[in-house]
Homo-oligomer: A and B are copies of this chain.
Amino acid sequence: MPKKLNKDASTEEKIKQAAKRLFTQKGFAETKTREIAEESGINLALLNYYFRSKQGLYNIIMKENMASFKQGLAELFGDTQLDVYQKIEKLAHYYIDEFITNPDLPMFIVNTIYMAGNDSTILEEDETSASRKIFVNQIKELVAQRKIKPIHPAHILSNMMGLIIFPFVIGPLLKKRANINDKAFVEMMKERKKLIPVWIKSMLEN
């Protein structure tokens, strides 16, 4: 009986890499199987051979992208050693670096969240839920201690995520309209790693 071979190597991984790029960039419907095949230099049938279907491949990519997005989130939010501001700072640093490396990821995430409005199953409870509650409780405590203004934690979540993710999503607009080139854009995003925590602090404090 032959055993599985080529576990590390090429074909399967090549397909995934091309698919990741295309799905992340253009979404599910706009990405065609033949495009993935061509992009990865493999025969069309191999997509189905390795991944059963386009949807199956997409699910894997989505899972990986989401894992990449969630990675560290649970631990960070759940860490009882760090205060709210330290968490925000770490969050901004981690994700902005992640998004600079993988610039299509923000739009993919946004699309995935948005689609969850219709195709629900994606936003199930997961390992981040419990730790997010710890973070939310830290905020509530600050409010109770009158250290920050009374505010619904969802506002803070929205603001943090918006300030971190949104500029990447409207990158093309900034680049065209504000005459920012790619390099300057990256510099600006790096600046935001420091600015966002400060901004949020100013927003919250009494």
Contact = CB atoms under 8 A, between A and B. Distances in A.
Interface of A: 25, 27-30, 107, 110-111, 113-114, 116-118, 120, 123, 129, 132, 151-155, 157-159, 161-163, 165-167, 169-174, 176-178, 180, 188, 191-192, 195, 199, 202-203, 205
Contacts of A173: 113, 116, 123
B123 A170 contact: no
Nearest to A25: B118
Given A123-B177, A166-B166, A171 B117 contact: yes
Contact of A158 (B159, B161, B167, B205): B167
A124 to B, nearest CB: 9
A182 to B, nearest CB: 11
Contacts of A195: 151, 155
Contacts of A151: 195
B172 A157 contact: no
A170 B180 contact: no
Given A152-B188, A162-B167, 9 more contacts: A107-B114, A110-B110, A110-B170, A113-B169, A113-B170, A116-B176, A154-B174, A154-B188, A161-B166
